[in-house]
Chain A
Amino acid sequence: MDEDLDETVRPSASARPGWVFGFYAFRAIAGLAVAAPLAIEVGVLVSRLPRGDAVLFDAGGEVLLDVVRKGHQAAPAIAAGAGIGLLVAAFVGLAPLAALLVAIGHRGALPLRVVAARSARALGTLSLLWGLALFTQAVTAALVHFGWGRVVTSFGWAPPRDNLARVAGVVVVVALALGIGVAHDLARVVAVDELRGTYLAMARAIEVVRARPGRVLASYAARASLAAGALAVGVALAARVGHATAPRFALSAIAHQASLLVAVALRASWLAAAMRHARATPPET
């Protein structure tokens, strides 16, 4: 697929486990920061109970529903805070992403100041690309979703045909969003690896996709599918283990974090693959 690059210039995520782990650590910490207000709200509500929030996972859910009942007034504020937190985390996350891209594109010793300098130079472009990608994804999703929704409504189908047709529209929206995401990743890789500006990075991303569409798609799809699978396995394992006791809680947390680490590693692997595709595609401009 992308083995046509010389090994000495072949970007690799597996060669930079520390940077990959750092990227995972940022994600995990950002997630904890986003969840902290909810954890504090619930923590205060259950603070009198000897078993703390372990009772939320008891069979029957009697305390769980009491927490929901008494905490629902704070829910809008917590949800708004979490939404803003997610956006901030995604934006701030561009810095560790840039560092990760610098690291996986570099062979040999890598001084921190080099990483910092090259990351900093790309941050402006990465920010613009992120904003453009988000905007494009939102507009595309809205157009397809509402347009398709009108079409489906005009058919006057009964469920489940009506619901399935709408789900098909959602699948198309997600596929388009993922496609934009792939192009966005390629542009980001080029922005960091080739130090291109926003426009040229986008142009190069399109070049790469046009030059090797099948390889790019396969590289992305394989890793994204595996990452989704890893997350699903983590969720299922943790749910099965439960949270009733401290050891079970620890095991379920390990299952969650392990699956997240695997997903992040696969994402880093995809970015390395994207960089290899970009390097293997000579620029036309």
Chain B
Amino acid sequence: MREIAGIVGGFGLGLASFAVGGGLIRAEPSGGERAAESGAAVAVALAPSAAAGQAPASLDDRWDDDSSLPAHAERVASYTLVARLDPKAHEVEATGTIRWTNTSRVPQQELWLHLYLNAFKNERTLYMRTPGSGFRGGGTLADWGSISVVRLRARELEADLWPPADAPIDPLGDETDVRVPLPRAVAPGESLTLEVAFRAHLPSISLRTGHFEAFHMVAQWFPKLARLEADGRWAHFPFTRFSEFYADFGAYDVTVDVPAGFVVGATGRRTSFASGGGREVSRFVQDDVHDFAFAAWDGFREKATTVDGVQLRCLYPAGYDRAADVEIEAARFGLGHLGAAYGRYPYETLTIVHPPDGADEAGGMEYPTLITTGGPWYLPWTPVRFLELITVHELAHQWFYGLVATDEHRSPFLDEGLTSYAESEAMEAWYPGSSAGELLGLRVGVPATYRIGGLSALHDGTVARGADEFATGSEYGSLVYGRTATLLTTLGRTFGPERLRRALGRYARSQRFAHPGPEALLAALRESIGPEAEAVARAVLFDGAWVDYRVDSFASSRPSRPAGIFGDPTSPSAAPAPRGGNRWFGDVLVRRRGTLALPVEVELTATDGSVQRVAWDAGQPFARLPYEGSAALASAAVDPNHAALLSSDLLDDAKGGGGVVAPRVLELGGFVAAALIHAAAP
């Protein structure tokens, strides 16, 4: 096999130039439509999109390790709450304070509060009105949920702020996003202390929160300030089916009061515990986070260990011991691997909650220092690594959501997409080639599953959209999770995994405790990999760019004397002797469909087994790649290693196979069928 001499040309170059057999061969430009097609593809690849408006971050190699990591986040919105859970009424009554600072450049005449639990209040809420096929939260509510603010008083302003002067903005009555006018403007840098009292009634388990029998997942349960951007704009939104959250960092100090016998898993470290009067009271404290959730159940079993100074705790139902072991092992691996890639995990605790059967809607979710998993107890004995996947995925959210606190409503791909990639990369490092599962010699990796997922909505719109701009849950999942993860895998395979790792590492470290937008990610790709990588990412994310490669045909032959008339037609001379001796010459017609131009390799295999690999920049929609070798061409394959995993069809990437029966499938299927006949019809 010959090595690639190098990709010459790059994006938009008219000629694909590559070295074969030591000589420089130029692939001729082909076709009159080339210019238009090429122009379209390059324009897609290189034109900045207006959809991404954030300023790029400035990155350098100090972000290649943890030495420059910020120790703490700016305290913008800090909560001190005392919460009492009544598991029979499924209610939480709480009082406390919210300390908020105006960190924007603009005086603020109002606050915006998220009252997420009101999404489950009645059938007129935005959440209930939105069809949500293909995603979580689609079940029928057996018990409505709501949150009632009893008191909201601004201490410094000596003003009661509740009830708000404004009715909810939704004309049909959604009460999840509420404007709270202030009696006077709060200047930049000025702080407010809000005294708050509220009663939260948890719904039957739905969309990450609620109750199932005695199990309670208490999430999105308190009045939560929207995030105030630096330009004075409140990033507030009503709670929709596909949307997650967005908030400022702060310090959380939450005291949880539950009936005796209930085990509580919560955000942060437990600093005190007291019991008496049939109640148990725990105090949880955590700095540098932007949310707080807790699970309480009298059926939890518990395993605990310490990993690199992090107290790891797993709460799970009886009979799930093996599942808990797997999840702890996955967290142990993930803390090390993800910490090395994206900056060390900065908290002292990590709690894993495996909800009981029937409370699956609480599973598969991330909160600061607390993640929920899920799945049946027998999963450890199946060939699918679901428990490892879900644990590593939710753990990866500690970086992409937790520490890099992007706007999950406006740009869900920044948290779910990057997390899916981080999960995929970590799982492949753990179980190379079979990270999703393995059965009967068939091995499936997570990148392949995300690729397939991302293809299901390939032409249904762009990735970079707000969570409320997706038509269905399956479209949301396909593009946000699958397409983004596949994009990043493609960048790694095309431009080098170390360069991508450096780019994402710099992005994650430099944006720790920050709220970056898409431009910061694109800047990291540009500065660490190059403008080509940024262009590809921008095209895929913002313009729905796609690509498919195909080998159309190939041919080769030995030179022969040319036919025709040579010399004087009335007295023709002999045809010139063929050049090249016993060498074989030919060409391969390759095509690149779609609006994305990714450079790929083309593998040419001769009948004597010799292999040549040449580079094709794919700048044109097609190219004829010349061939010269010691034997006839037997096959040709574009991108044989599937570096361009974004390619929408891998089955037409080559030509030169034979036969219409798959022998291995025939043998394996025949054996399985014979065994079935033996077992079931003796």
Contacts and interface: CB of A to CB of B under 8 A. Distances in A.
Contacts of B377: 159-160, 163
Nearest to A159: B357
A111 interface: no
26 contacts: A27-B678, A28-B674, A30-B674, A32-B666, A34-B677, A39-B661, A40-B662, A43-B661, A46-B651, A49-B653, A51-B657, A52-B664, A59-B432, A61-B448, A66-B452, A67-B651, A69-B455, A70-B651, A86-B676, A87-B681, A89-B677, A93-B677, A158-B319, A231-B675, A242-B441, A260-B675
Interface string B327-356: 000000000000000000000000000001
A27 B662 CA distance: 20
B665 interface: yes
A-B complex: 4 closest residue pairs judged by Cβ atoms: A59-B433, A35-B669, A31-B674, A90-B681
A63 B669 CA distance: 18
Contacts of B317: 158-159
A95 interface: no
Interface string B99-142: 00000000000000000000000000000000000000000000
A35 B665 contact: yes
A260 B674 CA distance: 8
Contacts of B660: 40, 43-44, 47
B442 A48 contact: no
Given A53-B664, A256-B667, A64 B444 contact: yes
Contact of A252 (B441, B669, B678): B441
Interface in B563-580: none
Contact of A49 (B455, B657, B678): B657
B670 A47 contact: no
Interface residues of A, number: 71
A1 to B, nearest CB: 21
* Residue from A39, A264, A267 having most chain B Cβ neighbours under 10 A: A39
Contacts of B443: 57-61
B667 A249 contact: yes
Given A59-B434, A158-B357, A36 B445 contact: no
A34 B649 CA distance: 29
Contact of B378 (A87, A161, A163, A231): A163
Interface in A58-81: 58-70
A61 B444 contact: yes
Interface in B609-658: 634-635, 637, 642, 645, 649-658
Interface string B287-306: 00000000000000000000
Bin chain B's interface residue count: 35 or more
A38 B671 contact: no
A82 B673 contact: yes
Contact of B651 (A35, A39, A66): A66
B659 A52 contact: yes
Interface in B498-549: none
B651 A49 contact: yes
Given A36-B661, A52-B662, A59-B434, 12 more contacts: A27-B677, A28-B670, A35-B670, A36-B666, A48-B551, A56-B442, A56-B664, A59-B432, A63-B650, A66-B452, A158-B357, A160-B320
B449 interface: yes
Given A56-B664, A63-B651, A47 B658 contact: yes
Given A36-B666, A47-B660, A243-B441, A260 B671 contact: yes
B357 A65 contact: no
A191 B444 CA distance: 49
A239 B664 contact: no
A39 B669 contact: yes
B673 A256 contact: no
A160 B378 contact: yes
A235 interface: yes
**A interface majority secondary structure:** helix
A257 interface: yes
B674 A38 contact: no
Contacts of B356: 158
B502 to A, nearest CB: 23
A185 B681 CA distance: 11
B650 A66 contact: yes
A227 interface: yes
A189 interface: no
A181 interface: yes
Given A49-B651, A242-B441, A54 B664 contact: yes
A237 to B, nearest CB: 10
Nearest to B551: A48
A263 interface: yes
A59 B645 CA distance: 14
B678 A43 contact: no
A45 interface: yes
B678 A264 contact: yes
* Residue from A51, A53, A63, A90 having most chain B Cβ neighbours under 10 A: A53
Contact of A238 (B441, B455, B676, B677): B441
B483 to A, nearest CB: 15
A90 B441 contact: no
A115 interface: no
A72 B358 CA distance: 31
Given A238-B441, A239-B441, A267-B678, A65 B448 contact: yes
A253 interface: yes
A108 interface: no
B185 interface: no
Interface in B431-480: 432-434, 436, 440-445, 447-449, 451-452, 455
Contact of A48 (B651, B663, B680): B651
A256 B662 contact: no
A165 interface: no
B32 interface: no
A93 to B, nearest CB: 7
B231 to A, nearest CB: 44
A62 B659 contact: no
Interface in B390-437: 432-434, 436
Contacts of A53: 662-665
Contacts of A264: 678
B672 interface: yes
Nearest to A82: B673
A67 to B, nearest CB: 7
Contacts of A172: none
Contact of A57 (B448, B637, B642, B664): B664
A42 interface: yes
B666 A35 contact: yes
A174 to B, nearest CB: 10
A87 B677 CA distance: 8
A13 to B, nearest CB: 14
B642 A50 contact: no
B484 interface: no
A119 to B, nearest CB: 17
B53 interface: no
A251 B642 CA distance: 28
Nearest to B428: A60
Contacts of B448: 60-62, 64-65
Contacts of B445: 59-62
B444 A257 contact: no
Contact of A34 (B645, B661, B673, B680): B673
Contacts of B670: 28, 31-32, 34-35
Nearest to A90: B681
Given A48-B657, A54-B664, A65-B449, A38 B669 contact: yes
Contact of B662 (A30, A43, A82, A93): A43
A155 to B, nearest CB: 14
* Residue from A49, A256, A263 having most chain B Cβ neighbours under 10 A: A49
B665 A38 contact: yes
A38 B665 CA distance: 7
B579 to A, nearest CB: 29
A31 B661 contact: no
B195 to A, nearest CB: 42
B40 interface: no
B376 interface: yes
